[in-house]
Amino acid sequence: MELSVFSGFSLIYGAPGTGKTSLALYLADKLGKKAMYVGMYENGERIRRKLEYLGLDAGKFAIYDFINISEHKAVLEMIGEAYVKESPDVVVIDGVNYFPEDRAVASALYRMFDVPVIAIGEEPVGSRPLAYMADLLIEVGQRFRKGARYRYVRFLKSRLGPPPASELSFVVIRGGPVLIEPWDEGKTSTRLAAVASMKRVVFAEEAVKALTSARQEYAKLGLLEGSRVADFIGTGPEDVALAAAVFCDYAESADVVLVQTIPLAERLLKCRLERRLIPTEELNDDGGLEAFKDAVGGARALLLYGAEQIVRRYGSGRLKLLLDFLNAVRPDLAILAVFSGLEPTPRLNVMFNTVWRIEDGRAEVVKSTLGWPVKSFKVERRGEGGYYFAPA
């Protein structure tokens, strides 16, 4: 996200606990080499702990708190003196509700600094004089759907350039908040992230020739950087075994990790594959998303098994947030998600470049923006754990 929109006086407001301070500290760290934090309600020690959690260098912040001073005029003078003393590149004022709803006071705060300022307030500061003076006005909030938290940033006014969007999702994790711009399937790289060995799942020669003529990478069943592929399989044991065979073909690539919301039977994984289990019930808050990020680590491709569990428990919006979050922190990450017993609805299809429907010995390419010229296959079992795809 372009930081130029934060080059003036920014006002971030919203309800307690929505992540305003975390977002402001993270932005301040990006805006300059030295920051000054002024707190009206938080003491310095709590802010230092928050900076540590966010992975920010506390030594970069000059921290002042005025939680025990009730005279706002004296506080304004002390803030001015601290600003002259510290000469920071950016200032964070946390708790502008402390000051009276007065145009003169708001004007004094607005005109005091000649560096970027991020002011933080709670309702109803969004309708006070300072909000009208601010160059950038941001509302931070959260919604709860089916027991899951969704944080959002809403850009209400911007005088210093267009904001990245009218509204963005964000999460607060160890290492700093992540602003999540929606994934764009049109920006997929042409570089391969992982290549299937085709030892277990083999395509007929005529299909391979068609793929080669359409797009060379897909002749080798490659996952491109930033791409997303979805396999919608049936619930039968053969369908699940086929998914395991696909995973094992990709396991030949060292930079692949399997993350499961429900365990895949050990007897079906006839290969060594790095895998992690993250139960669906842990995905209701930012901590679960952070666990996914940690599980992926430096892998170039994520194999996600049990994607239908996320949809059934929280709805498709939660899956979208998870996928968009992963691509926000790792735009190069390729994702292969497997859904069992779920239909590829338009709402789910839009989250992926390529969508397969595989069940009862048939495979269909429901959607492909990456060059699949063959749309329908019959699937045959070939030996122990092997499958043969031939054009139908």
What is the structure's pLDDT at 172? 96
pLDDT band at 72 (very low <50, low <70, confident <90, very high): confident
Angle at 147 between CA 145 and CA 148, to 5 degrees: 70
pLDDT band at 320 (very low <50, low <70, confident <90, very high): very high
Is the pLDDT reported for residue 96 higher than 60? yes
Query: Which of the pair, 92 or 100, is modelled with greater confidence?
Result: 92
pLDDT band at 219 (very low <50, low <70, confident <90, very high): very low
What is the structure's pLDDT at 241? 94
Mean pLDDT, the chain, rounded, equals 92
Domains in the chain, please, with CATH? 3-180 (3.40.50.300), 185-391 (3.40.50.300)
Mean pLDDT throughout 318-337?
96
Is the pLDDT reported for residue 243 higher than 80? yes
Mean pLDDT throughout 245-258?
91
C-beta separation of 177 from 22 below 8 A: yes
Query: Which of the pair, 339 or 123, is modelled with greater confidence?
Result: 339
Of 227, 298, 292, 228, the C-alpha closest to 260 is 292
The share of the chain scoring above pLDDT 90, in percent, equals 74
Is the pLDDT reported for residue 372 higher than 70? yes
d(CA 139, CA 338): 36
* pLDDT tens figures, 296-312: 999 999 999 999 999 99
pLDDT band at 206 (very low <50, low <70, confident <90, very high): confident
What is the structure's pLDDT at 250? 93
- DSSP code of residue 263: P
- How far is CA 245 from each of CA 87, 229, 361, rounded to the nearest angstrom? 61, 16, 15
Mean pLDDT throughout 352-380?
90
d(CA 321, CA 318): 5
Mean pLDDT throughout 93-122?
94
What is the structure's pLDDT at 215? 55
What is the structure's pLDDT at 213? 66
Residue with tokens 């909000």: 131
